[in-house]
Structures are given as C-alpha cells and as structure tokens.
Structure 1
C-alpha cells in the first residue's frame, strides 16, 4: 500500500496554476484491524510569491497530481515569501492506493 508521494504536482489557487514539488503522506489509524480514520498532509514547495494565507482564494486550493487525481488542502504553516508551506488535506488523498 502506497502511503507517500514525493515529486511534482500542480497547485491550483483560484484560476492560476503553479508548478510545485510536494512531499506528502497518508496517515491511517486502525481499530480492531480495520482502518477507522485516514488523513493526509505534507509540504508543498512552490513559487515564493504565492500568498497562502491572505489570498481570497486561499481556502479554495487544489492539488493536482501527475495522474490527474486532485485533492483539496489548506496551508497550515509556513513563512511568507518562502514558497514552502505545510499543508493538511481536506478530503480524500489524491495519491496512494485506495
């Protein structure tokens, strides 16, 4: 089972696409041998001019993987102007095995 992805992706912020490198992982909690909770998070390294926190589109960010799968996320930490932010996925992971 693939629980991680490291490589290229596209960040869609509003109507603008930004090429990025990502380092992502899926976290699964098990209860009695069954998966009861799944979340995903990681780091996005993209253009330093992206305003992850004050842009009106910042709550509408999509991550598009090379295979076309997409997932929504929010930026949770990072320094303005660095281009690198920590993220938390807000739905199904756009990578990994289902």
Structure 2
C-alpha cells in the first residue's frame, strides 16, 4: 500500500455516461488514520451534455466510476445543479479510491 494520495483529472465513465472532464482526489487524512475518503466534481455546458446524461444520475445510490486506465471505484452523486448554462455534479467516493480490478 502506498502513502501517496489519490488524484485524477481527465475523462471518466460514471454510471455508464462518459464525462470528458472529471476531477477526483483523496481527501486529506491525518497520519495513521485508516479511513480513506475521496471526492470530486465534473462540470459541462448545458448544450454539451454527455450522451445518456440525466439530471437524476446516481439517484439510486452508489454507482461505478471507471477511468480510462481500467481503475474503478464506487461513488455517490451528492448534488446535481444547473445554473442556466452549466451542469455541475458533486461526487463523493464510497470505499477506497479507484483501483485496478
């Protein structure tokens, strides 16, 4: 196990929908703390919603996030908002950060 904190920025598939720009990062933890939490966000213009996107994505609980290199994790979509121009999804990881299956 590594002490490096997980951080990712790039495309990701969340609940079967391909998002071009997703940021995920492990949250700060005190040395010796075993619990690893991570969170993230993705935003995109309303006119450029990814194919298959729905405002209630993740509404049934934890969904799978897949990174292009094969790493996977589970997350909750904790908030979905639209300000008239841009959609923003707030993400909270469940379990360990994305890892190779």
The TM-score normalised by the length of structure 1 is 0.69
Q: Is the 8 A contact 1:11 1:62 kept in 2?
A: yes
Post-superposition CA distance 1:27-83 (Å, at most 9, x none): 1422xx413321010102463662353x68642421001111111111111215854
Alignment of 1:4-15 (within 5 A): 4-12=7-15
Specify the SS of the correspondent of 1:93: strand
Is 1:90–2:89 an aligned residue pair?
A: no
| TM-score when normalising by structure 2 | 0.67
The size of the alignment, in residue pairs, is 88
CA drift of 1:90 comes to 1.1
Contact 1:5–1:24 at 8 Å: present in 2 too? yes
- Contact (CA 8 Å) 1:52, 1:58: kept in 2 or not? no
2:18 alignment partner in structure 1:
19
Where does the alignment leave 5 or more consecutive residues of structure 1 unmatched? none
Which runs of no fewer than 5 residues in structure 2 stay unpaired?
none
